[in-house]
Chain A
Amino acid sequence: MKLISVDDIKQGMMTAKAVTDPTGMLLLKENTELTPVWVQRLKARKITSVYIVDDGTSSDQALSQEQLNARLAEIDKKVDRMFSDCLNNPVMASLAESARNQLKLKIKI
């Protein structure tokens, strides 16, 4: 499994993890072929990177809903702690949101 930029997706690549948008809505299931149409849609949804199946490695064991929720809550807690003093700064608030999304993208679904 490998994290790659959406710009680097090539014909025939498969998702190794489900792709969700920042609100958690499922866009693509795991083991889906990333066709050019899907790449367009991902870009339209501002998804910048995806996990693809790397040579010789299958997708990882999926997490249970409970484990997933715990991971998501952990991310929120860390980001909240890190940015607690600076969320009134609009640039920092924007960075906090982007960081939250990027960190959530990396956990297994």
Chain B
Amino acid sequence: MDQPLSQQERIKKVVSHIIGLPTLPVMLANINRLMMNPRTSAKEVAQLISSDPTITSKILRVVNSSFYGFPSRITTITHAIVILGFNTIKSIILSSSIFDAFKGGTNEQRFNREEFWKHSIACGTAAKVVAKHAGLSALEEFFIAGLLHDVGKIIIDQHFHNEFMRILDIVDQKDCLMYKAEEEVLGVTHAELGAWLFEKWNLSKNFVESTSKHHNPVLATENPKYTAVIHLADIVVRSIQIGYPGDHKIPVINENAWKHLNFTPDMFPKLLSETDVEVEKALIFMDFAK
């Protein structure tokens, strides 16, 4: 009898069929390169970004939105970098690049892209809220990790469309979570495929692990608390039904993840209402998906 394939072998088998996967956007690669040099100045980064008018206008639109809520208008990239820092600007470029790489839609009524992105943005928002209550810092990074956690679903839709249709059929028939149907049809999940792409793109280990393990946070070894945040954020957003993740069920909160966060159930009303309030501001990111 054949030995069951290891996780890596399963992923490798599936991704070997992918042709023309989006590459890491050139702008992001160039910025990463500049930022590796400790002597790089804000002016140099600003010059590079300003050479791309589309990204420049996107950044200025986001930094001037109520999401960041600055009282006065930010009109130049240099000003934006000074006020928000390199990392936030990099996060905005990363999210804009992800939307660009995976934009476009499908005629499939059962998986509306706009509702999918709304779920992703809401998950980013919830991740910030959860991380804040867990006493963590660098909240901006959690927003991006939440935003990215389900990108694997789009990879499946774009590169394995027939299988994707079968996955949606199973979700309808069994009323199960999408990843269960993916395991049945493809042998790998959107979580594993998303993480595989982020690893190829050299994104941070926290992004890779939290994407890969958001349905199975007990397997996170690199930074279990970080993955616990994304795991809970996904569940919070599903509970208050912002956007549509592709199924109608809610994953059970993993006991270990819950312990890592040190939360109690009486915190739920606050987590849910703060997410609801903040998400309205974060929907500015929907602009990127158009």
Contacts and interface: CB of A to CB of B under 8 A. Distances in A.
A92 B253 contact: yes
Nearest to B252: A86
Interface of B: 175, 235-236, 238-241, 248-250, 252-253, 258, 265-266, 268-270, 272-274, 276-277, 280
Interface residues of A, number: 28
B248 A98 contact: no
Contacts of A96: 239
A98 B253 contact: no
A8 to B, nearest CB: 8
The listed residue with most B CB atoms (<10 A of its CB), out of A4, A102, A105, is A102
A83 B269 CA distance: 17
Contact of B269 (A4, A46, A85): A46
Nearest to A6: B273
B175 to A, nearest CB: 7
The SS class assigned to the A binding surface is helix
B239 A3 contact: no
A91 interface: yes
B268 A98 contact: yes
B253 A48 contact: no
A40 interface: no
Contact of A102 (B240, B253, B258, B266): B240
Given A94-B268, A103-B240, A103-B241, A48 B249 contact: no
A95 to B, nearest CB: 5
B239 A98 contact: yes
B241 A78 contact: yes
B250 A48 contact: no
Interface in A1-28: 2-5
A46 B265 CA distance: 14
A88 to B, nearest CB: 10
B239 A82 contact: yes
Determine which residue in A3, A48, A79 has the highest number of CB atoms from chain B within 10 A of its CB, and name it.
A48
Contact of B273 (A5, A81, A86, A95): A5
Contacts of A94: 265-266, 268
Most buried by B among A2, A83, A95, A103: A95
26 contacts: A3-B277, A46-B269, A49-B277, A78-B248, A79-B239, A81-B175, A81-B248, A82-B238, A82-B250, A86-B252, A89-B252, A90-B265, A91-B253, A91-B258, A92-B252, A95-B239, A95-B250, A95-B253, A98-B269, A98-B272, A99-B239, A99-B241, A99-B268, A102-B239, A102-B240, A102-B273
